[in-house]
Chains A and B, each alone.
Chain A
Amino acid sequence: MARRKESDRAQQNNDDSDSNPNDELEEEPDFDDPEGYEDDISEQDLMGDLIRQRPKETDGVESIVVIDGVPQVGPERIEKLQNVLKKLFQKFGKITNEYYPLNPDGSTKGHVFIEYSNASEALEVLKGTNGYKFDKNHTFTVNLLTDFEKYNDILDKWENPVPQPFKEQGCLQYYLLDQDACDQFSVVYEQGDKVAVYLNTQPEPSLLEERPRWTETLVRWSPLGTYLATFHAKGIALWGGEKFQQIVRFSHPGVQFIDFSPCEKYLVSFSPLADSRATDEPQAIIIWDVLSGLKRRAFNADKSQALPIFKWSHDDKYFARMGVDMLSVYETPSFGLLDKKSIKVQGIRDFAWSPTDNTIAYWVGEEKDTPARVTLLELPSRNEVRVKNLFSVADCKMYWQKSGDYLCVKVDRYAKLRKDKSDIKYSGIYYNLEVFHMREKQIPVDSVEIKETIQAFAWEPVGTKFAVIHGEPPSTSVSFYEVKTGQTPTMVKKYERKPCNQLYWAPSGQFIVLAGLRSMSGALEFVDTQDFTVMNTGEHFMATDVEWDPTGRYVSTAVSWWGHKVDNAYWLWSFQGRILKRVALDKFCQLQWRPRPPSLLSAQQIKDIKKSLKKYSAQFEVKDRLKMTKASKELVEKRRKLMQEYEDLRKQKQEEYAEQRRQRIELRNNVDTDETEGRGGELEEETVEFFIKEETTFIDE
């Protein structure tokens, strides 16, 4: 464009000079290169865009296809072959030219060139007839003529791809090396606009990293705490290391849910809307390799299924999903079905992996005369290690204890069943807790009957207790049961009329928070289940979430903007229920503790530590006290500075005030009011005597 303009202008100049020959024109500078001058700019740089449009030799031949694998026939049958092929290839467009190369003896060579009227038709042919089975012995191989050029460019010698240079990620586990084993937590606030990561130091959490627009919705820690996942419209990003640099990205448009495998090897991302686009490749669920960032397998989603669709075994070896009347177990790293076929389970309702073994528990609903049953299935052997039949079952829920020692199945049972056309109505519902002792021979099952509605159930993560909230709110009760070898579970404590709706065990067991969230206005009770003392009660008004830190030392409560629109804040408590910190944040959404991998210490080592806890705690107390005094010193220092600044300003103000005293007195009619301010309040006591009555009495003597 510019070029043309220039030439236009030159033209005009010429015109001008033509029309006004007398005009004194400045001599046109000579733009020509001197002879022998070599331009140091290549033509490619100068006008790459033009060169790219330069006509190529192949122009016009894109519409020619080469068909290989055509039967070789003698001259007498050429016409017949031509007719058959014409019929076949006419379907794709208008044939403008065809050529049958012949051997010297007049027979065909076995390949044919066909030219179409345009290139798109040729492409259609390629799609439609490449690999076409002409007859038993002849399969067509179809190529574009232009492909020859493409294949020409391929080097004869294979060159190994250059390995990617190793990128130093730093120590991803650095957070475990913190001197005082402080835990990190992430905070999402301002409606998701800001994400911050804090280190829970005492007495004040310290900010490690804060970024605006780090995520678009929420963040998730990976199960061992190595990565922080952020959600974006285009996919998921994982961050880690000391500076929270980006480790890997997974492109999955519209992703809404993610799930890590327990060992963090794989990530499952789920985009509920992805299926609407018509592609052959499934888009809804993608399983990624976390370390390499590569896609491993994609699945289509069944809309009706509850999340997570895929459940992982504890060691990342298997993952499973439930289908209609079947359970599909896949294995890694091949990502194929285990033994190439799904497990047929008629009427499967739900399943759950054991948290420590490759055992699946699933249950099957009642069907006519066959009772409902819970099955424990060992993988990959597919041994049914235990089957328990259950009668009059309305619903079941399975709860694995975190150490995998027990499985509790909460069974909703009915006394009467009424079928109303398609509706099934249960009445007289009561509850059974079926406890499977996984570590004992033949897995004995005990059952506990509870008459009232069960509101919540929770296993002690480490230990032998479980807690149940039962009854109708607000007059709910909390019961604690202990499970022992060879015995039915025994109730060890019952709190009558404890208004709460959620149970939160400390990750290390023993301590539990009974919480009445949301509608129960955020009442909290901290209980030590060793001797069932209520250590403390508290309240975080309208709290929506309670979370233990991974070591069980602190508890966070939160009023999330997602659940409640005002007073969004998070509070930190000690495990004994002492409030440590209240942090109010605008539109605060979510607080998540960074998880820790399981301890590497052996049981004996832990025992030893517990034994000498007294010694350690003395050391820690000294440390804590030091920190507190340091912090209060810092605070005092800060206050002193603020006070000094303020005093300086006030002094200046007071001097000005004193200077203006005369003017002020003038303003108030020469009355000095500076000294009498506020004196009216100090009432002077006045004694007023009234003469009320006079009486005279005579006293007889």
Chain B
Amino acid sequence: MKPLMLHGHERSITQIKYNRDGDLLFSSAKDNHPCVWYSINGERLGTYEGHQGVVWAIDVDWETKRFMSGAGDNMLMIWDVQTGKALGKIEAKTSVRTCNFSYSGNMALYSTDSTMGNPSEIFIIDVRTVDSSFSTNDPILQIPLTNAPKATSMVWGNLDEVVISGHDNGDLAQWDLRTGKKINLVSEHAKSINDMQLSKDGGFLITASRDCTAKLFDADTLECLKTYKTERPVNSAAISPILDHVVLGGGQDAMDVTTTSTRVGKFDARFFHLVFEEEFGRVKGHFGPINSLAFHPDGKTYASGGEDGYVRLHQFDPSYFDFKFDY
């Protein structure tokens, strides 16, 4: 089926996320206005105005009440989803690279870049009451990554007790929130981890890395289970909530794209079998690398956001569901 092309951003998309119900799709881009869309028809519901820099990361809580965004203007902002009003903001020392609500929605984490002599840091904050005093509240936990590779992607682990961070040298670390200590570290990737997403039940974790692979990990033990290989850096990867499929998106580095044709760039979304690691399908369309991918929670649609500034909503054809591997 013809995809819906959501053209509301003026610059490259940085992240897209569905809410838990799947009726809304949130997107952020290098222009300063995160957007929210109806996922059913691609109509834009509104934007969140207030950032003055590239919005790197977004998240929405499980009730779709609050929306959070971290940006290159060193701001973490929390918004009311429905009205688009900013409820509170925290100023960081450097740009905010990742932000995630916890499972309960009571806590959130964000991480910052290492620039101007400031180390990359991971913050855990309480977001139960967000008002004007929000910015002055101390974080629950602050983990400075001094002399360590910066965190490039983060997710919450099981039951809000641990967080998992991916780093720009390819390391994957697990942190215990009660002690603030690193409890596990694996180095499976050779290059920066661009994106991490959990399976529906939180048992598995998929990472997307610049080393041209995506890997599937056991989210509790961080044991590497599967590797999906491509020829280009992988910017994002997602696990289907209903089938044993994963989708990978990426392509040639954005900085090299102008010098090569789209065919060399390989900007396709690529579907692999979760278990067999075999590629079985490709969807083309973007004319720049794919920066972010998300499955609709019902698994019947997926969305991709690219360097070309478009968000594409693809509804799977019946043949996608009919296709079965022999085993």
Which residues of A are interface residues toward B (Cβ below 8 A)?
541-542, 566-567, 584, 632, 635-636, 639-640, 642-643, 646, 649-650, 653-654, 656-657, 660, 663-664, 667-669, 673, 676-683
Which residues of A are found within 8 Å of B23, using beta-carbon distances? 680-681, 683
> B322 to chain A: closest CB distance in Å?
18
Contact of A656 among B203, B225, B241, B327 (CB under 8 A): B203
Contact B327 A640 (CB under 8 A): yes
Residue pair B298, A667 in contact (C-beta under 8 Å): no
Separation of A636 and B324 alpha carbons in the complex (Å) = 12
A-B contact count (CB 8 A): 93
Closest 4 CB pairs of A and B: A680-B21, A678-B297, A653-B203, A680-B23
Q: Is the CB of A541 within 8 A of B276?
A: no
Measured CA separation A372–B218 after assembly (Å): 78
User: CB distance A632 to B40 under 8 Å?
Assistant: no
B residues less than 8 Å from A632 (CB atoms): 326
- B264–A642 CB distance below 8 A: no
B158: CB under 8 A from chain A? Answer: yes
A-facing mask of B259-292, CB < 8 A → 1, else 0?
Answer: 0000110000000001110000000000000000
Given contacts A642-B276, A664-B103, contact A680 B19 (CB under 8 A): yes
Shortest beta-carbon distance, A281 to chain B, in Å?
50
CB-defined contacts of B204 to chain A, threshold 8 Å: 653
With A636-B327, A678-B22, A681-B301 given, can you name 8 additional A-B contacts, CB distance below 8 Å?
A: A541-B263, A639-B276, A639-B327, A642-B275, A650-B203, A660-B158, A680-B20, A683-B23
CB < 8 Å: which of A649, A668, A679 contacts B225? A649
Could you say which residues of chain A place their CB within 8 Å of the CB of B301? 681
Q: Which residue of A lies closest to B300 (CB)?
A: A681
Q: Is B159 in contact with chain A by the CB < 8 A criterion?
A: yes
Query: Are the C-beta atoms of B264 and A541 separated by less than 8 Å?
Result: yes
A88 to B230, CA, bound (A): 81
Q: How many Å lie between the Cα of A663 and that of B104 in the bound state?
A: 10
B105 and A668: CB pair below 8 A? yes
> Cβ of B325 < 8 Å from any Cβ of A?
yes
Candidates A660, A669, A677; contact of B200 at CB < 8 Å: A677
Q: How many residues does chain B have at the interface if contact means C-beta atoms less than 8 Å apart?
A: 42
Chain B 89-137 residues near chain A, CB threshold 8 A: 103-106
Given known A-B contacts A567-B264, A642-B276, A677-B20, A636 and B326 have beta carbons under 8 A apart: yes
Query: Given the complex of chains A and B, what is the CA–CA distance between A640 and B225 in angstroms?
Result: 16
B residues within 8 Å of A by Cβ? 19-24, 39-40, 62, 103-106, 158-160, 200-204, 218, 220, 225, 231, 241, 244, 252, 263-264, 274-276, 296-301, 325-327
- Measured CA separation A108–B277 after assembly (Å): 98
Given known A642-B276, A680-B21, A680-B23, contact A667–B264 (CB-CB < 8 A):
no
Question: Can you list 21 A-B contacts (CB < 8 A)?
Answer: A541-B263, A566-B264, A567-B264, A584-B231, A636-B326, A643-B275, A646-B225, A646-B244, A646-B275, A650-B203, A656-B203, A656-B220, A657-B201, A660-B159, A664-B103, A664-B159, A667-B104, A677-B20, A678-B296, A679-B21, A680-B20
Complex interface: chain B residues within 8 A of A650 (CB) = 203
For A541, the chain B residues whose CB sits under 8 A away are: 263-264
> How many angstroms between the C-alpha atoms of A673 and B274 in the bound complex?
25
Q: Nearest Cβ distance between residue B129 and chain A, in whole angstroms?
A: 15
**How far in angstroms is the closest Cβ of chain B from A661?**
11
Q: List chain B residues, Cβ under 8 A from A673.
A: 20, 62
CB of A658 to closest CB in B, whole Å:
9
Measured between beta carbons, the chain A residues less than 8 angstroms from B297 are: 677-678, 680-681
Q: Hey, which chain A residues are within 8 Å of B19, CB to CB?
A: 680
Q: Contacts of B40 on A, CB cut-off 8 Å?
A: 681, 683
Q: Could you tell me if B21 and A678 are in contact, using CB atoms closer than 8 angstroms?
A: yes
CA separation between A406 and B281, bound complex, in Å? 50
Whether A657 pairs with B275 at a CB distance below 8 angstroms is no
